[in-house]
Amino acid sequence: MVRIEREGRELIVTTIGVLASKAFRLPVAQVLRAEHHAGEAQGASPATPWIALHVAGRRFPYLIDMKARTVNQSAIFGLAGRR
């Protein structure tokens, strides 16, 4: 994921693509939970901390790199708890 923004009751999620980035709009109500992972290297897991943002209707969560330049961790976790 490159960027996540809240615009009222919607999220705009921008992801990295093979040729270009792509933006998705989804209702905040679709956010199910956010899970923090410490980033300890185990098998195929990366050795960097990240947040898995689970969204209804998606098989896999959005992954948010905690080493990104700017991360509002409390806002991300608040998405799943407050609409």
57's CB contacts (< 8 A; 6+ apart) are: 30
Read off the pLDDT band of 76 (50, 70, 90).
Answer: confident
**Distance from the first to the final alpha carbon of the chain:** 22
When divided into structural domains, the chain yields a total of 1
The beta-strand segments (E) located in 1-83 are: 3-7, 10-15, 22-27, 31-37, 50-55, 62-65
Q: Give pLDDT, residue 83.
A: 43
Among 65, 73, 69, 18, residue whose Cα is nearest residue 46: 65
Domain of residue 18, residue span: 3-81
Q: What is the CATH number of the domain that holds 43?
A: 2.30.29.50
Per-residue pLDDT reduced to its tens digit, 17-58: 788 888 999 999 999 998 888 876 566 656 788 888 999 999
| Residues near 79 by beta carbon (within 8 Å), at least 6 away in sequence | 6, 11, 28, 31, 34, 53
Give the mean pLDDT of 66-71. Answer: 73
pTM, two decimals, is 0.73
